[in-house]
Structure 1
Amino acid sequence: MESVPEAASLLAELAAMSAESSVSLLEELATAVMPSDKRDIAHLTWSERTAEDVDARLDPRAAAEARLRAAEQRFRALVEQIPAVTFMAVLGEGKNEVYVSPHIQQMLGFSQEEWLENPFLWYRQLHEEDRHLWNLEFSRGVRAGGPFKAECRFHARDGHIVWVHGEARIIKDDLGRPSLLQGIAFDITENKRAQEIVLKDAVTEAKQQEELAIAHRIQTLMLPRKVAVEGLEVASAMHAADDVGGDYFDVLPTKHGAWIGVGDVAGHGLSAGLIMLLLQSAVAAVARAMPNATPREVITTVNSTLYDAIRDRLGRDEHVTFSLLRYSRDGRLVFAGAHEDMLVWRKRTGQVEIVRSIGVWLGARPEIGHLTENSSIRLEDGDLVVLYTDGITEAMDVDGEQFDIDRLVDVVVTNGGQSPAAIVEHILTAVRAWMHTQFDDLSLLVFRYSAPTARRVQAGHRLG
């Protein structure tokens, strides 16, 4: 393809050369441009034979002119096979094109005749926003006296946009004034579209990475700090997947115990992180404002806030699985909501009870009070409660089988007598050994209850 700009360049120089020199130039160009296996194109042989016949019969000058015409025919035939637009224009007060190749019709929808008849047509079709660029590059070419390049948009006849890569050079006359402009133009529309797709993908990827970073930060900031709750030994863990989810758990100490919440926002990414942040803030605000409220009352109030925020402010169609527990120091747990079943390990029997709360998803409907109920259980000294999100039970092995609640129960039964922190580690170890790839966050909140009598005995031992 390197010979194509050369071809357009040599075409412009024909006007300033003698007939004999022009013939040599065209023959040399034809040899350079035409592949060696196609230099005997059948439809060109008539011109060559005519030139030879004229050489024999006419005087040398006429013969040279005939050879020039024949060579020019061959040159034009070659140039018109090039899959680009070649052009030449005389420069002066305006720009008067004297040649444009037929490919102009395929590129922009105008015939050769239309293009050459209107000296201002090319500028009219040049995109308004790119005219300054063309003028700038043209001026640089004049000053430098060398070739110049530009990528511009043109309006095709039917109105669609065509991206064109043009390379041209300016020929000056004996006085150093620009006299000829000649060059070549390629349709690069498909390349530009591909570049736009790549750029769009890169921007999207960068935005997603930024959102993930923000979501990770939100998730980290929202993890409960180590809190002291009378009668409870608490341990927790959250191991985020690469695609950040919206797992939530929190412990809010109160005068008589604590509020304990666990939830999971549907979806992933920044929106899930924001909804989780809204949930945590709403639960904390409502629980403090209504210290004597039941879990059902807190949940229904929080739901109204979440429903409006998710749909009206975020414009999302998401929901949250959520359970809220109110712990009292006497060991009573009152709870409500819709989330994964709670596991209660009983010290007295060494077995696990699977406890289900009653409620519906938050944020899915404006009013859920009639669908939410309070339930309660009583914890005895040494009993253990395990709260978790579905990333634990739905972790899959290489065959797609889930870890499920039965395996989780087995881990808790086997290790129930150990500390909450140790049980958290045992569960995470078992899940990681099971799962092939982590697709969701792994979140756990485990707490053990110590009855007031046991706490007094423990305090007495410490004093002793």
Structure 2
Amino acid sequence: MMNIFIVIHLVSFIPVLTVAFILWKDIGERSQFGKRPKYLIMSIIMLFFTGILFTLSAFLPEEFPQESSFMLYTIFTILYLVANFFVEFSIHCQRITKSFFEGEFAPRLRSFIISYAILSFLAILAVILFLFRNSFDGSLVTSSGLYSSDALTELQEKGLLGWEDFHILTTIVFIVFSFIQAIILFTVNKRIFRFQEGVIRENSLLSKIAIFMFVFFFIHFFLSGFFNPIFFPAFILCNIGILVRVTGEYFFQRTQNLDRRILKLEDTLNLKNELIGRVISSTNEEDFTIIRNMLEDEIERANAHQTVKEYGISGAIIYSRKGNFLSVASSRYIYGYCIPINRTDVLKHLKKQEQINEFILKTPFDLAAINQTPRERLANSGDMLVKDLVEKQAPVILMEMPEDMRGLQRLIALYPIFDRSILRGIIVIFKDSFDRLFPEEENACLTLTENLKVVFAIIEGKAIQHERNRLQGEMEIAKTIQTSIVPGTIQIPGYECRASMVTASEVGGDAYDCYPVEKGAYFGIGDVSGHGLPAGITALIQLTAFQTAIATSNSVGRQLEPYEIYDLVNKILCGINRDRIGSDKFMTQNYFYAENNTITHAGSHVIAILYQKNQNSTRELPELANRTAFMGISEHIASKTSAGTFTMDEGDVLLLYTDGIIESKNQYGTQFGLSRLAEILAGNATKSLDEIMITIMDTVREHATSGDLKKYNGNLADDASLFLIRKK
């Protein structure tokens, strides 16, 4: 009856081979796992042949008699050891492949394979030679190539070999063979499987199991004899060990890694959100502290994984970009022992680290010069590294120090901080005692790079917002100036007057004014091209020149015509624009002089609307527009051609305005228009001037509700000014 352990051992091959093959096949179907490990499939093949051999020995006992157990043990041991070692190779290699230890591990692996093959061959050869040393004609060998009981009996009868002699000699050979195998196992365990144990991989479980199995076999066979049945529970244990190791590494370990990645991603997102919240509300000084803490945390986290502390990161610098320069914004951006990689020639003059750090703060990288200069013509290695980084848009790691850095550092690594394709800064990493970066250090640098990209973007956004707030404050001041320089009340003898100005989202150039004189009053309205502070300044110059011209004419006792005022103001405006402020602003402008019921005018602005009470109708005054060149274009303008006169009777209303009124748009882009303005005036001319102005502005805003008001956050696209006068 077949031993129960033999059955269990044979059955144990099925889950081991099935699970191992499924996991090996699954690796190739998942890109994140990389290529299928070749050593794992080789281990599966070894186990498959071992299982076939065990099956044959179990079901064909006549071909594998009891006396052949010694040779079977030798073959099974070698197959199991090779299978075990291939599993360990697979695990070890996959963890080393992407690290800098691969170059050191490969020679160890090759030397082991060669030495193990040679020693195993010699050990097997020694056993075979011993078994056949007394019979070279092959008569003692069965068809299977192994000793039969008849052959052994014949040996004893001839007196060539006694049973005790055979047992002693075979024991000696086995001890020698065992000793050779033990040397191989311990050597492999020390040189291969304990290589960077705890850094690259966790343990060498299978090699320890194999050593235990071998020692157990040695004790078992030594005590019980070579021709006893093979002790199958030990092989069952070996199969279980392989199954545990393969599933632990290629299933549970990968599952745990996936869970850790998910948790790390969640932690990263949470930390990034927390970081964003802190940076958004922080001051500039607090920003420096936040970045310093980030730098220290990542470096300390990376160094915590080092078994040799001296091999960790010894220094780091964070450069941020301002314009075309990469500079260190604060001394808190310098960590540990660092050197100015773009000016190493000064180090011999700087004795203390504080002096070196101070020099680093004052020595930026000129990106424009670096980009424009060929690499071979750059003055120092630091500029070359930055040029390589910008061109590759990837980290640059320098392990072999150039002449100007030799003896100062063992490794210098530059990690770029890119926001899309824009370089925002770089991180420079230094090592003074080791010339490689460990995986944890690389991960720390990449994490720091990602976080700094977010922080720098927020800081830049805050700077832009601060500048916008500053400009907005200046715009508010400019608006205040703009509205304060126009008169609050307008007095024209014989007329009732009202005026108003509604400023747009930006400072505009609307302006109106009035200057009473002895017999009447001068008044005017205009609009500077464009928006912003230059337009407001141009309007202010025009108002000042208007007031000065009239005041001067009064002082000399000569009354100026409106066209003369237009020409004088135009010359002043052209001279200041051209010779002093370099502005290209021009403006539309009408000047009026009212005396009794006659109004003379000059200039070029927009078509005015006149309501005539006697006829209860409105008419346009096109002569106020396009009769001369705009003010500020040329000092050689002669506006006399635009001069004109009209009269106003009692109850008549003159409506002057700027184009912000008639050009306001609805959601369809339709302008308010001159005709609609005339209709409002005609329908409300008998009301007070205040009521007329309110009705006009309400109607304009209603028209622009879904258009300009929505587009410009509740503001019209342009300043809207109204000037109403009614003849008493």
Q: TM-score range by the shorter chain?
A: 0.5 to 0.7
The alignment status of 1:157 with 2:411, answered yes or no, reads: no
1:306 maps to 2:567: no
Deviation at 1:279, TM superposition (A): 1.0
Provide the residue aligned with 1:177 in structure 2: none
Q: Which residue of 1 aligns with 2:487?
A: 224
User: After the TM superposition, which of the residue ranges 383-392 and 186-195 deviates more from structure 2?
Assistant: 186-195
**Farther off after superposition, 219-228 or 45-54:** 45-54
CA contact (8 A) 2:598 2:647 kept: yes
- In 2, Cα distance between equivalents of 1:300 and 1:42: 81
Three-state SS of the structure 1 residue aligned to 2:591 is: strand
Matched, 1:326 2:589: no
1:393 to 662, 670, 679: 662
Selected match of 2:353 from 123, 128, 135: 135
Which secondary structure does the structure 1 equivalent of 2:601 belong to? strand
Residues 18-417 of structure 1 mapped to structure 2, 5 A cutoff: 39=95, 41=97, 49-50=109-110, 57=183, 64=190, 123=339, 125-126=341-342, 135-136=353-354, 155-157=382-384, 160=387, 163-166=425-428, 191=453, 194=457, 198=461, 201-202=464-465, 204-291=467-554, 292-328=559-595, 330-355=596-621, 356-357=623-624, 358-369=627-638, 372-417=641-686
Residue identity opposite 1:135 in structure 2: Q
Instruction: Work out whether residues 245 and 269 of structure 1, in 8 Å CA contact, stay in contact via their aligned partners in 2.
Output: yes
Cα distance between partner residues in 2 of 1:204 and 1:301: 39
Confirm or deny: 8 A CA contact 2:313 2:430 kept in the other structure. no
Q: CA separation in 2, counterparts of 1:421 and 1:429?
A: 12
Q: TM-score, normalised by structure 2?
A: 0.43
CA distance in 1, matches of 2:94, 2:356: 37
Q: 1:37 to 1:97 in 2, by over 3 A?
A: closer
Q: Secondary structure at the match of 2:698?
A: helix
CA distance in 2, matches of 1:230, 1:263: 22
CA–CA distance in structure 2, aligned partners of residues 442 and 257 of structure 1: 27
Q: Is the 8 A contact 2:515 2:547 kept in 1?
A: yes
Q: Which moved more, 1:303-312 or 1:336-345?
A: 303-312
Q: Contact 1:332–1:379 at 8 Å: present in 2 too?
A: yes
Residue 334 of structure 1: how far off its partner (Å):
0.6
- Residue 197 of structure 1: CA displacement? 5.4
Count of aligned positions: 356
Residue 69 of structure 1 and its aligned partner are, at CA, apart by 5.8
**Greater relative contact order (Cα 8 A, min sep 6): structure 1 or 2?**
1
Q: Is the 8 A contact 1:340 1:390 kept in 2?
A: yes
2:719 to 441, 445, 450: 441
TM-superposed CA distance for 1:220, in Å, is 2.0
Question: Deviation at 1:237?
Answer: 1.5
Question: d(CA) in 1 for partners of 2:384 and 2:666?
Answer: 60
Query: Aligned partners of 1:272 and 1:42: how far apart in 2?
Result: 63
% identity of equivalent residues: 23
Cα distance in 1 for partners of 2:459, 2:449 equals 12
Q: Distance in 2 between matches of 1:393 and 1:325?
A: 22
**Displacement of 1:312:** 2.9
Distance 1:263 1:404 in 2: 18
Kept in 1: contact 2:616–2:682 (CA 8 A): yes
Distance 1:370 1:376, change over 3 A: closer
- Supply the RMSD in Å over aligned alpha carbons: 4.5
Q: What is the DSSP-based 3-state SS (H/G/I as helix, E as strand, rest coil) of the residue aligned with 2:570? A: helix
Where is the strand percentage greater, Structure 1 or Structure 2?
Answer: 1
**What amino acid maps onto 2:646 in structure 1?**
I
Q: CA deviation at 1:215?
A: 1.5
Q: Select the structure of larger CA radius of gyration.
A: 2
> Compared with structure 1, are the counterparts of its residues 164 and 444 closer, same or farther at alpha carbon in structure 2 (3 Å cutoff)?
same
Q: Is the contact made by 1:265 and 1:272 (CA closer than 8 Å) also made in structure 2?
A: yes
Q: What amino acid is aligned across from residue 344 of structure 1 in structure 2? A: L
Q: Give the distance between the partners of 1:302 and 1:369, measured in 2 at CA.
A: 12
SS in 2 for 1:228: coil
5+ long unaligned stretches in structure 1: 1-34, 76-85, 89-95, 101-121, 140-149, 172-180, 451-464
Partners in 2 of 1:333 and 1:99 — Cα distance? 86
Which AA in structure 1 matches 2:353?
N
CA contact (8 A) 1:360 1:371 kept: no
Q: What's the CA shift for 1:377? A: 0.7
Per-residue CA deviation, residues 283-324 of structure 1 (Å, 9 max, x unaligned), is 111111124000110010100111122233222211111000
Residues 81-103 of structure 1: CA deviation (Å, up to 9, x unaligned) = xxxxx9x9xxxxxxx99999xxx
Conserved? CA contact 1:360–1:372, under 8 Å:
no
SS of residue paired to 2:668:
coil
**For each residue in 1:88-140, what CA deviation from the matched residue of structure 2 results, as whole angstroms up to 9, or x when unmatched?**
9xxxxxxx99999xxxxxxxxxxxxxxxxxxxxx8352469x999x934999x
Q: Residue 372 of structure 1: CA displacement?
A: 4.4
TM-score, structure 1 as length reference: 0.64
1:251 is displaced (CA, Å) by: 1.6
Alpha-carbon distance in 1 for matches of 2:566, 2:524 = 10
Tell me if the contact between 1:48 and 1:70 (Cα under 8 Å) persists in the aligned partners. no
Greater helix share, 1 or 2? Answer: 2
1:42, distance to aligned residue in structure 2 (A): 10
Give the aligned residue type for 1:424.
Answer: M
